[in-house]
Every structure is written in structure tokens, then in C-alpha cells.
Amino acid sequence: MAAARILPVRNPRTGVPDMEIEVADLAAVRAKAERLREGQKRWGAMPPEERVKVMGRWAQLIATKYRQAIIDADSHDTGYCEISRIAPDMMLGIIGGLCASAPAQLRGALREGVARANPDVRFTSILKPYGLVGIISPWNAPTMLSMLHAIPPLFAGCAVLLKPSEVTPRFTGPLFESVREVPELAAVFDCVFGDGETGQALVEVADYISFTGSVPNGRKVAAACGARMIPYDVELGGKDPLIVMAGADIDRAVSATIRGAISATGQVCFSIERIYVQDTIHDEFVAALVERAKKIELNHPDPMGGHIGPFTGPHQAAIVAAHLEDAVAKGAAIVEGGAPFQIEGGDYMRPTVLTGVTHQMKIMKEETFGPCMPVMKWHTIEEAIALANDTDYGLSAAVIGPDEETAIAVGEQIDAGKVSIQDTFLTFFGSEAKNDSFGYSGLPGLRGDLTRYVRKQALLINSGEPVCLTRQAVSAVDQAIG
């Protein structure tokens, strides 16, 4: 019997591993999957209202007993990112919203009636939840992004097996302590640890896969799901533009830019990564942005102080450094901040403002995932829209104009799933919008829509003579659906 494969987990603040995880191979993943499938039989047969009660009990436990423990573990994972401190509240918001809407959503997917082509044939329908949904979650915002995808299928009646990133697995400790206090939920919700090998195994045993991560890995997941003919959703990042128009409130625009670009050290898929400013206000905007960037403080030595923490891993710091080097080599100027650097083993970076950037530079075309603010001027609004749409991505975007009406008119022309108007980073607040994405940002489906986690089965009942599809009957069917 082969020895278990062990992976070290690095502390982002010290650069030193302080945890180990055992990689789950196909046999281990399959064993957990079989246990969860057995539990799902009872879970899926429950009325939605009963599942709501169970999920409500879990939410109460999180709120009263496990909230701080989840915050602490997620903070350890991320180097004390500010998103860690709101992650349990985001979870509770998702659970609360679905407690209110899940039964109606599922009832609304049911159909019954009489066939228009033959009054002797009536139909009814039932919903059959997918037995096992596999979640492959990313290293950034680990609790929030894992639960964003894990909670809805539980409400739909599925079992869920989560594979967190091997970079940030600590949050699963207190999270699944809370799950184990709710026996009905523990029977259908569990996790496995590992890297790509474990993710591949999960794709092989699940009935539905939800993946959040890079474009190359997302393509692999999509191909593997396609080979098995199972449904999936993938969220694959962004290169989000911000357009700032003349007449905009400069102070407001700068505040929105800073928040949208540096929150969580820029390691958010809907961070602002490209800034297009009308030429008549470009210099004023850049000067104000530089002054505001100078005031940002690192959360070192106090992890609970400051505004910006370390990179979650050195791999991301290296990508950002390479993007800066490429931009400077091609003529850009760094007017504030600079390359990543180390403090006591952690990889940090000051908010960094660049000017003189072009679309020949990686920093304007590839996902950077760091606290960089490259600013490019434009003359006509048509030019600004063309620049914003010159991307392989289309997750979200932002427009700040002289007024809402003008900004909305521009936002409607941007190819992105969500467009923040007169602000940035509003994606957190728009889950009810149920938007899609464009380009390589993936195929996330309609978030919060439980019907994607169930198969809809029709039952057709004939109370008359056996149906014979004569030419007249076929014609009646054509008329009925035509």
C-alpha cells in the first residue's frame, strides 16, 4: 500500500508552513462520495421546508458559536484579509436568503396540466436533485467562495463534497465542526483535501461540478465534465475595467478606485484592474489617486491594523512582479508604489499606480490579481468603450460619470456580467441580479437559482384510448407547439 502524500500549507504572513494536509486519492474521494450519496437519499426526499429548518439550525450555530472561529481560520488562510472578517456574515446572508426563497423556487419549477394536442393526456412533474455536487474552490476568499457554491445545492436536496484549495484549507476546521453538530447536514456535506489529483478524482465521482479558479484549469474541468456528460459551472476570473468620465466627482471616483483595486490585496476576481480616464481630467485624477494611495497602510506588524495584507502565496506576488516589469519595459511609468517585497517571510506590496500604459502590456490584458492601478487616458467615449471591451474576460466592470443616466448609458455598452454604476466593487450586493458572464470569465450559471441542481422529470398520464400518431395527430401537435 502506497504511503499517503502529504502537502505543507504555508502561512502567508511568515512564509513558513505551519500545517499539513493528506492528499485524498480517488479511492478516498470515492469512499466519501458513497457515504454522502447514501445520506442524500433521505435529504433529497425531504420537503424543501424541512431542509430549510435544518439549514436554519446550522445558521444559528454559526452565528452564535462558530462565527469568530471561522473568521480566525479564514484570516490565517489569507494573511488577515478584510474579506475574512465578513465571510461568516456572507454565509449567513446566503442561508437566510435561501431559507426565504428555496421552497417557492422549487415549487415554481414544477409543471402540471393537460396536453393541448390531446385532452386525454395530462402531465405532472417531479424534481430529482443531483445526488452529489462537487465543489472545487479557490485560494482567495476561501470561506466565502466555497460557501457561495456549496450552500445552494444543499437547499436543492443534493449532497455536497467540497475540495478547498490546498493553499487555504484551514477554514474547513471550524466550518465542519459546525456541520457535525447538525446530524442531518453532516450526512450530506463533507470535504476532502488535496491538489489537482484530488480535484480530478472529484470530477470523476460527482454528478455536477462547480469550479472556481484559473482559465487553464477551468478548461480542463469543462473538458472532463463534457467527457462524462455531467453539468458544471465554472468561474474563471476577470480583468475588470473602470471608466471615469469628465464631470465625475474626482474624490468619489478615487475612493471607489482605491477600494475596488486594493481590497484583499487585489486578489478578488472582480477587482478593478484597468482604469480608463477621460483625457481632460486624467492628470487631476492621477494626482489625487497617488495622494490617496500614499495613505494606505500595510497590516504589518498588526494583522488587525492597516488596509492591505500580504499576498496569499508567493506565486501570485511573482505574477504581479512580472506584469510590472513588462509594463515598465514597454514604456509605462510607476508613479506610486512598486514591486512586491518581503517582510518577515510574507510577500507584501504597496498600492501601485502606473501611467503611460497600453494594451500591448500584460498588465492591461492578463489577470494581475494584485493592488495595481494602471491608468490610461481616452478622448472619446467610443474609444473608452472599445478599450473596456478589448479583453478576453467579461466578469464585471464599473462606470463613474457626471450623473447616473450618463454612466448607465455607457455601462449598457460594456460586455460584462455586472456593471457597477457610480461606484466599484458592487458585485457583493447584486446576487439577486442573477447575471451571466462574458468571455473567459466562465459559465457560472444563475447564482442562487436552485433549479440547476435538480433534474425535472415529467410524468405523462393517458386516461383515454392508446395514442396513435396519425397524420392528423401530428398536425395537432404541430399546431399546439407552433
Residues 98, 230, single domain; the answer is yes
Residues 259, 174, single domain; the answer is no
Residues 188, 303, single domain; the answer is no
| Whether residue 478 has pLDDT greater than 90 | no
Q: Which CATH number characterizes residue 278's domain? A: 3.40.309.10
Judge whether 446 lies within some domain.
no
Residues 29, 153, single domain; the answer is yes
Q: What is the pTM of this model?
A: 0.94
* Residue where a domain stops, chosen among 236, 263, 296: 236
pLDDT tier at 443 (50, 70, 90 boundaries)?
A: confident
Residues 415, 353, single domain; the answer is yes
What's the pLDDT score for residue 48?
97
Contacts of 386 (CB under 8 A, 6+ apart): none
Residues 308, 204, single domain; the answer is no
* Residue where a domain stops, chosen among 219, 236, 253: 236
Judge whether 461 lies within some domain.
no
Residues 269, 145, single domain; the answer is no
Mean pLDDT of the chain, nearest integer = 94
Helices (H), 109-161: 142-156
* Residue where a domain stops, chosen among 236, 265, 300: 236
If you average pLDDT over residues 147-170, what whole number do you get?
97
What's the pLDDT score for residue 440?
75
Measured in whole angstroms, the distance separating CA 337 from the mean position of its chain's CA atoms is 28
pLDDT tier at 475 (50, 70, 90 boundaries)?
A: low
- At 121 the three-state DSSP class reads strand
Residues 254, 206, single domain; the answer is no
C-beta of residue 118 within 8 angstroms of C-beta of residue 189: no
The grid cell for 170 is 484551514
Residues 342, 405, single domain; the answer is yes
Judge whether 295 lies within some domain.
yes
C-beta of residue 309 within 8 angstroms of C-beta of residue 317: no
What's the pLDDT score for residue 334?
98
Across 30-34, 136-140, 367-371, 425-429, least confident range: 425-429
The grid cell for 145 is 467562495
Percentage of the chain modeled with pLDDT above 70:
94
Q: What is the DSSP letter of 465?
A: S
Judge whether 256 lies within some domain.
yes
Q: State how far the Cα of 322 lies from the Cα of 339, in Å rounded to an integer.
A: 9
C-beta of residue 241 within 8 angstroms of C-beta of residue 397: yes
Q: Which CATH number characterizes residue 190's domain? A: 3.40.605.10
What are 392-423's pLDDT values in tens digits? 999 999 999 999 999 999 999 999 999 999 99
Residue 235 annotated among the catalytic residues of the structure: yes
If you average pLDDT over residues 73-85, what whole number do you get?
96
Judge whether 406 lies within some domain.
yes
Residue 269 annotated among the catalytic residues of the structure: yes
Q: State how far the Cα of 268 lies from the Cα of 212, in Å rounded to an integer.
A: 12
What's the pLDDT score for residue 472?
55
What's the pLDDT score for residue 449?
86
What's the pLDDT score for residue 212?
95
Domain holding 199, by residue range, is 6-104+128-236
What's the pLDDT score for residue 434?
59
The CA distances from residue 104 to 101, 108, 213, 265, 408, in Å, are: 6, 6, 32, 39, 32
Judge whether 435 lies within some domain.
no
Across 103-117, 317-331, 374-388, least confident range: 103-117
- Active-site residue (options: 269, 273, 336, 366): 269
C-beta of residue 267 within 8 angstroms of C-beta of residue 84: no
What's the pLDDT score for residue 384?
98
Helices (H), 163-214: 172-180, 183-186, 196-205
Residues 276, 198, single domain; the answer is no
Judge whether 121 lies within some domain.
no
For the chain, what is the domain count? 2
Residues 217, 154, single domain; the answer is yes
Q: State how far the Cα of 211 lies from the Cα of 232, in Å rounded to an integer.
A: 8
Percentage of the chain modeled with pLDDT above 90:
88
Q: State how far the Cα of 413 lies from the Cα of 384, in Å rounded to an integer.
A: 10
If you average pLDDT over residues 288-312, what whole number do you get?
96
String of DSSP letters for 296-360: --B--S-TTSSSB---SSHHHHHHHHHHHHHHHHTT-EEEE--S-EEETTEEE---EEEES--TT
pLDDT tier at 429 (50, 70, 90 boundaries)?
A: confident
Comparing CA positions, the residue from 274, 217, 206 lying closest to residue 240 is 274
Bridging pattern class, strands 189-191 and 159-163: parallel
What's the pLDDT score for residue 140?
94
Residues 203, 253, single domain; the answer is no
- Active-site residue (options: 166, 184, 235, 273): 235
Burial of residue 15 (number of CB atoms within 10 Å: 0-12, 13-18, 19+): middle
Q: State how far the Cα of 128 lies from the Cα of 106, in Å rounded to an integer.
A: 11
Contacts of 379 (CB under 8 A, 6+ apart): 278, 279
Judge whether 482 lies within some domain.
no
Q: From the CB of residue 346, how many other CB atoms can be counted at a distance below 10 Å? A: 23
